[in-house]
A and B are shown apart, each in its own frame.
Chain A
Amino acid sequence: MDAFLSNLSLGLATAAQPFNLLMCFVGALLGTFVGVLPGIGPLATMAILLPITFYLPPDSALIMLAGIYYGAQYGGSTTAILARLPGETSSIVSTLDGYQMAMKGRAGPALAVAALASFFAGTVATLIVALFAPALAKVALYFTDYDYFSLMVLGLVGAVVMARGSVVKAIAMIFVGILLGSVGTDVNTGIGRHTLGFPELLDGINFVPIAIGLFGLADLMANLEKPREQAKLKSTGLRALWPDRNDFRKGGPAAVRGTLVGSALGILPGGGAVLASFASYAVERRISSHPEKFGTGVVEGLAGPEAANNAGAQTSFIPMLTLGLPSNAVMALMIGAMMLQGITPGPQVMTERPALVWGMIVSMWIGNLMLVVINLPLIGLWVQLVRVRYEYLFVMIIVFCCIGAFGINNSVFDVFVAVAFGVFGYVLIKLDCEPAPLALGLILGPMMEENLRRGMQLSDGDPSVFFTRPLSLTFLLVAAALLLAVAAPAIRRERKEVFNEAD
């Protein structure tokens, strides 16, 4: 405990320097804005700023870059809630109940719930990082390919729980996602799969243009056919900017659960953080007394995932800080920034440069506080924006979709990908097939395949390891139980209906 306190005070001494406070603020603010803009993600922004960090002291540079990352997690939910435009993987879940809240005229409370849940999660996760980082680093190394595979299976089963409508359709959508995820270079052999001859597809279909098309453009097309829907969006008055008591009562516990789920998944270096918001949504829906209302704008469906998402973002710093191993592209860039500063990343950073590490950890909490202060007043502004008549708003959304799709990889090809998925997404809306399970299959499919195939190679073809490794076995058992719990009633119901029909 003494060590913990001295570390914390050392960190505070670093993070509270006026210049570092300024850099933290700059990072958080920038992050908020790039989070709001689809396509321009934290990664691109950090890459642009990388040369500038050159002229900053190492601690200020990393504090600012970290601010951009978690700031973007805050900002990312804004467009997801207001325009059903997830700028990043993590904000897809916010297009479910968050967007529905906005459609019902509760954009203000939705944004406030997102900001507050994120802040709570950020606070707790920072504490977790500070208290347990060195110990948790070992957990990260303990995870093998087998465990990751089984965790991904559990994640996909979670997608079935998320689905609002038909279970069969939801499972089918997961497989559509897995198939789309298989596009690109096969990791094991380097063979291009389903690329139709486009070199742009050798690295797979970019996620952002898919999300822009599937969620953003498709919804736009569907909205434009319903004049009444526009009226609804317009009526998003200033009626209520602040969440009501019910929001707090229901959303509070959800945020606590989301924080726990997100913190745990963020630690995994194999990219567990992407699962955080999905997992939290599945948990909330599973334990809810009214699961059928999910997807219509229930506050737990927003507060939980938002908290999970931000918690995962914070704890994903653990493998990077303690081992020098990046768990995602953003962390790889942080490592690049360290190298630019002349710091060799690795386990020794914690002992050799404690002021840097702890300064960064403390700055995360300060940054989260700043983000709430930045974001809460902005809500008024965002809500004003949604009040712009839809006949103008939708054109703005189209333009931002275009630039966003282009910006993710500076490639016009991605703009056309967005169009294709826009049309596909519109068809899915007409057929009442939900895009969220597809998105999850798309994200998890390639990771699952990679871990499965590598696991089989490492075990020399013995599949029993998946059942003998305790972690892996646990995940598989939970997945099986969950699947049974969801599928059994649905199958029974459908059977009954079919038989009734037959009678």
Chain B
Amino acid sequence: MEATIKGKQDFLSGLLFIAIALAFIVNGRGLPLGTAVNMGPGYIPLGAALILAVLGTVCLVRGLVHAGAGVEPVSWRPFLLVPLAVVAFGISLDWLGLVAAIFLAVFVGRAAIPRAPLLPTLALAVGLSALSVALFYYGFKLPVSVWPRFL
């Protein structure tokens, strides 16, 4: 199977496009289509999804028959830790407050680079917290609490 895919990048792009198109088609099943004169909410999304599916198929076929670029390997550390840092921020912001959320994001994010030293990371977290509180809490008055809500 591997050998028959000549352009892995094109092939996988095609798969991705087809998957997205299918997701929208399946999820949009219940939307009324209407008519061309009085288009319903499902008309344009379905049309766009069908076109995307066709384009995806073109990519897929091209990947099968035509030699093209391969896909670079994924480096798991940043791929997992950068999103995790943002997720940690999002989960903690409402209840632990801005400072704790920034600390979490900094420490988790920093782990995306192997062997990150502790002290500069701590300094960075303190600095970013101070800056953010001054700028976003006092300056732009974002509706967040600075410290955990239960304190």
> Once the chains bind, are A456 and B39 in contact (CB under 8 Å)?
yes
- Nearest-CB residue, chain B, relative to A462: B37
> Once the chains bind, are A402 and B105 in contact (CB under 8 Å)?
yes
Whether B126 sits at the interface, judged by CB under 8 Å, is no
Instruction: List B contacts of A392 (CB < 8 A).
Output: 120, 124
Whether B93 sits at the interface, judged by CB under 8 Å, is yes
- Nearest-CB residue, chain A, relative to B77: A224
Whether B134 sits at the interface, judged by CB under 8 Å, is no
> Once the chains bind, are A430 and B105 in contact (CB under 8 Å)?
no
> Once the chains bind, are A168 and B93 in contact (CB under 8 Å)?
no
Instruction: List B contacts of A384 (CB < 8 A).
Output: none
Taking the nearest CB of chain B, how far is it from the CB of A86, in angstroms?
17
> Given A175-B52, A196-B27, is A399 in contact with B128 using a C-beta cutoff of 8 Å?
yes
> How far, in whole Å, are A164 and B144 apart by their CA atoms in the complex?
42
Whether A464 sits at the interface, judged by CB under 8 Å, is no
- Nearest-CB residue, chain A, relative to B86: A419
What 1/0 mask marks residues of chain A from 5 to 47 whose CB sits below 8 Å from any chain B CB?
A: 0000000000000000000000000000010010010001100
Instruction: List A contacts of B90 (CB < 8 A).
Output: 402, 406, 412, 415-416, 419
- Nearest-CB residue, chain B, relative to A426: B79
> Once the chains bind, are B27 and A399 in contact (CB under 8 Å)?
no
> How far, in whole Å, are A460 and B48 apart by their CA atoms in the complex?
23
- Nearest-CB residue, chain A, relative to B8: A431
> How far, in whole Å, are A498 and B105 apart by their CA atoms in the complex?
48
Instruction: List A contacts of B62 (CB < 8 A).
Output: 168, 494, 498
> Given A172-B56, A412-B93, is A224 in contact with B140 using a C-beta cutoff of 8 Å?
no
Whether B49 sits at the interface, judged by CB under 8 Å, is yes
- Nearest-CB residue, chain A, relative to B140: A40
Instruction: List B contacts of A494 (CB < 8 A).
Output: 62
> Once the chains bind, are B52 and A449 in contact (CB under 8 Å)?
no
> Given A194-B27, A419-B86, A501-B65, is A403 in contact with B17 using a C-beta cutoff of 8 Å?
no
Which B residues, 17 to 64, have Cβ-Cβ distances below 8 Å to chain A? 17, 20-21, 24, 27-28, 31-32, 35-45, 48-49, 51-52, 55-56, 58-59, 62
What 1/0 mask marks residues of chain B from 77 to 94 whose CB sits below 8 Å from any chain A CB?
A: 111001101110111011
> Once the chains bind, are A415 and B142 in contact (CB under 8 Å)?
no
Instruction: List A contacts of B142 (CB < 8 A).
Output: 403, 406-407, 410
Instruction: List B contacts of A402 (CB < 8 A).
Output: 85-86, 89-90, 93, 101-102, 105
> How far, in whole Å, are A182 and B58 apart by their CA atoms in the complex?
24
> How far, in whole Å, are A17 and B146 apart by their CA atoms in the complex?
41
> Once the chains bind, are B113 and A182 in contact (CB under 8 Å)?
no
> Once the chains bind, are A403 and B136 in contact (CB under 8 Å)?
yes
> Once the chains bind, are A176 and B20 in contact (CB under 8 Å)?
yes
> Once the chains bind, are A194 and B86 in contact (CB under 8 Å)?
no
Taking the nearest CB of chain A, how far is it from the CB of B74, in angstroms?
7
Stretch at the interface among A67-75, A100-108, A184-192: A184-192
Instruction: List A contacts of B58 (CB < 8 A).
Output: 168
Taking the nearest CB of chain B, how far is it from the CB of A97, in angstroms?
22
> How far, in whole Å, are A44 and B136 apart by their CA atoms in the complex?
12
Whether A433 sits at the interface, judged by CB under 8 Å, is yes
> Once the chains bind, are A221 and B49 in contact (CB under 8 Å)?
no
> Given A189-B40, A406-B93, A423-B83, is A179 in contact with B16 using a C-beta cutoff of 8 Å?
no
Taking the nearest CB of chain A, how far is it from the CB of B119, in angstroms?
12
> Once the chains bind, are A427 and B16 in contact (CB under 8 Å)?
yes
> Once the chains bind, are B28 and A194 in contact (CB under 8 Å)?
yes
> Given A403-B136, A461-B36, is A501 in contact with B67 using a C-beta cutoff of 8 Å?
yes
Instruction: List B contacts of A98 (CB < 8 A).
Output: none
Chain B interface size band reads 35 or more
> Once the chains bind, are A179 and B20 in contact (CB under 8 Å)?
yes
Whether B1 sits at the interface, judged by CB under 8 Å, is no
> Given A172-B52, A221-B82, A412-B94, is A182 in contact with B13 using a C-beta cutoff of 8 Å?
no
Whether A396 sits at the interface, judged by CB under 8 Å, is yes
> How far, in whole Å, are A358 and B59 apart by their CA atoms in the complex?
55
Taking the nearest CB of chain B, how far is it from the CB of A200, in angstroms?
13
> Once the chains bind, are A431 and B12 in contact (CB under 8 Å)?
yes
> Once the chains bind, are B37 and A461 in contact (CB under 8 Å)?
yes
> Once the chains bind, are A501 and B93 in contact (CB under 8 Å)?
no
> Once the chains bind, are A217 and B48 in contact (CB under 8 Å)?
no
> Once the chains bind, are B106 and A193 in contact (CB under 8 Å)?
no
Instruction: List B contacts of A44 (CB < 8 A).
Output: 140
> How far, in whole Å, are A391 and B77 apart by their CA atoms in the complex?
14
Taking the nearest CB of chain A, how far is it from the CB of B82, in angstroms?
5
> How far, in whole Å, are A445 and B39 apart by their CA atoms in the complex?
15
- Nearest-CB residue, chain B, relative to A494: B62
> Once the chains bind, are B59 and A391 in contact (CB under 8 Å)?
no
> Once the chains bind, are A456 and B67 in contact (CB under 8 Å)?
no
> How far, in whole Å, are A452 and B58 apart by their CA atoms in the complex?
28
Taking the nearest CB of chain A, how far is it from the CB of B37, in angstroms?
3
What 1/0 mask marks residues of chain A from 282 to 298 whose CB sits below 8 Å from any chain B CB?
A: 00000000000000000
Instruction: List B contacts of A178 (CB < 8 A).
Output: 44, 48
Taking the nearest CB of chain B, how far is it from the CB of A241, in angstroms?
25
Taking the nearest CB of chain A, how far is it from the CB of B4, in angstroms?
13
Closest 5 CB pairs of A and B: A461-B37, A186-B41, A415-B90, A224-B78, A225-B75
Interchain Cβ contacts under 8 Å between A and B, 10 examples: A168-B59, A172-B52, A191-B31, A394-B109, A395-B110, A396-B124, A402-B86, A415-B93, A463-B36, A497-B66
Q: Given contacts A191-B41, A399-B102, A501-B65, could you give 18 more A-B pairs where the C-beta distance is less than 8 Å?
A: A48-B141, A168-B58, A179-B21, A179-B48, A182-B44, A217-B86, A224-B75, A224-B113, A399-B128, A401-B86, A403-B136, A422-B82, A427-B16, A431-B16, A433-B16, A452-B39, A456-B39, A501-B66
Point out residues on A near B: beta carbons under 8 Å.
34, 37, 40, 44-45, 48, 166, 168-169, 171-172, 175-176, 178-179, 182, 186, 188-189, 191, 193-194, 196, 217, 220-221, 224-225, 391-392, 394-396, 398-399, 401-403, 405-407, 410, 412, 415-416, 418-419, 422-423, 426-427, 430-433, 445, 449, 452-453, 456-457, 460-461, 463, 494, 497-498, 501-502
